[in-house]
Structure 1
Amino acid sequence: MTVLAKNKTSRYREIEYHLRQFRQYKVGMSNLKSQVELILPRTTSSYEKREGQHHVNWSRSSTEDCVMERLESQKVKALEQEIQKYQIIVHSIEQSLKELDEMERQFVQYRYFQRWTIRKISLELGYSESSVHALRRQLLNKLDISLKGILSL
């Protein structure tokens, strides 16, 4: 196998990996956002009358002194970078799927989202296994171009 063929095979495997993980990326994004929200304190407002003073409207955080430190914490930065990475992957896959024809989208649904075998897909679609393999190659050729940006993440 030539270096170019190995490189293409490697890219195809990575594309297939991202397609299989598509739903987990969405769940992961949601979980990471929740973690960031738990780390960062919420600001609360209060209105009270203090003796000898006028009514006072003030805002404070229960951890006001730590807000700036936490905003710059490595943990939050790492979480936000991971969220951004997942957002790029999810958005790229969604955009790429929109450009596929119905049969190709169906193949992606069966093969990568539902994890069906080529044999089961061929029976469902009414095509031979070799035709389904050809559909897979055609699909991966398209996705190799449209998803090239996520391969370096």
Structure 2
Amino acid sequence: MQKTKIRDKKAFKKIEDHLRNYRNYVAGIRNMEKQLEYILPNITATYEIREGTVGTFTFKSTTEDYAIDRIEGKRALHLHEDIAMFQLVIDSIDVAINELEPKEQEFVKYRYIQNNSTIETALKLDYTERNLFYLRQNVKKKLLISLKSIAKIEI
């Protein structure tokens, strides 16, 4: 039982880190997409995940095939993988938050996404600090279930 509590505490700390970095992940995706546009300008490429592979680029001409073989192709592949990882975390958080009660959603928004202190969050929600603690415990239980998989993701 004690090991489970310790494991859950560590998992929730990682979930909190992902929640606090939510806006950074969104900004990171935008920046990586701009980098991709710079690396591969005017190249008509799609990135597909095929069974048995991590992903592959598909091109429309031999000129584009040659261009992707350049060293930047590896960098572009890494950028696509990072974008996919960030998007996975963002989408997982969005789904989990949508399943929370309205007050719980507000708590997550104020406390983690906007990075407010517990006192600021309690004031915005019109809660005492004690009631905010109980709300956090309820949110913690729910997010440990719905976001357990992203607690294992290191970014």
The interval holding the TM-score normalised by the smaller chain is: 0.7 to 0.9
Instruction: Say if 1:64 and 1:120 are closer, same or farther in 2 by CA, change over 3 A.
Output: closer
Of the structure 1 ranges 112-121 and 74-83, higher mean CA displacement relative to structure 2 is found in 112-121
Cα separation, 2, equivalents of 1:152 and 1:142: 17
- The match for 2:89 is 89
**Mapping of 1:105-116 within 5 angstroms?**
105-116=105-116
- The match for 1:18 is 18
AA at the equivalent of 2:113: F
Could you report, residue by residue, the CA deviation over 1:45-70 in whole angstroms, capped at 9, with x for unpaired residues?
xxxxxxxxxxxxxxx89x75741303
- The match for 2:67 is 67
- The match for 1:47 is none
- The match for 2:49 is none
Residue 35 (structure 1) shift: 0.9
Q: Are the equivalent residues in 2 in contact too, given 1:70–1:76 (CA < 8 A)? A: no
- TM-score, structure 1 normalization: 0.79
Which secondary structure state, in structure 2, belongs to the residue aligned with residue 10 of structure 1?
helix
Larger Rg: 1
Residue 26 (structure 1) shift: 0.6
Could you report, residue by residue, the CA deviation over 1:2-30 in whole angstroms, capped at 9, with x for unpaired residues?
32221111111111111111011011011
Percent identity, aligned pairs only, is 35
Residue 33 (structure 1) shift: 1.1
Instruction: Say if 1:3 and 1:42 are closer, same or farther in 2 by CA, change over 3 A.
Output: same
- The match for 1:48 is none
How many residue pairs end up in the alignment? 138
Query: Does 2:131 align with 1:151?
Result: no
Residue 95 (structure 1) shift: 1.0
**Mapping of 1:1-153 within 5 angstroms?**
2-43=2-43, 66-70=66-70, 73-153=73-153
Of the structure 1 ranges 23-32 and 65-74, higher mean CA displacement relative to structure 2 is found in 65-74
Instruction: Say if 1:147 and 1:71 are closer, same or farther in 2 by CA, change over 3 A.
Output: farther
Cα separation, 2, equivalents of 1:119 and 1:91: 29
Which structure 2 segments of 5+ residues have no match?
45-60
Q: Are the equivalent residues in 2 in contact too, given 1:110–1:121 (CA < 8 A)? A: yes
Q: Are the equivalent residues in 2 in contact too, given 1:16–1:112 (CA < 8 A)? A: yes
Residue 97 (structure 1) shift: 1.1
- TM-score, structure 2 normalization: 0.78
AA at the equivalent of 1:41: P
Residue 90 (structure 1) shift: 0.6
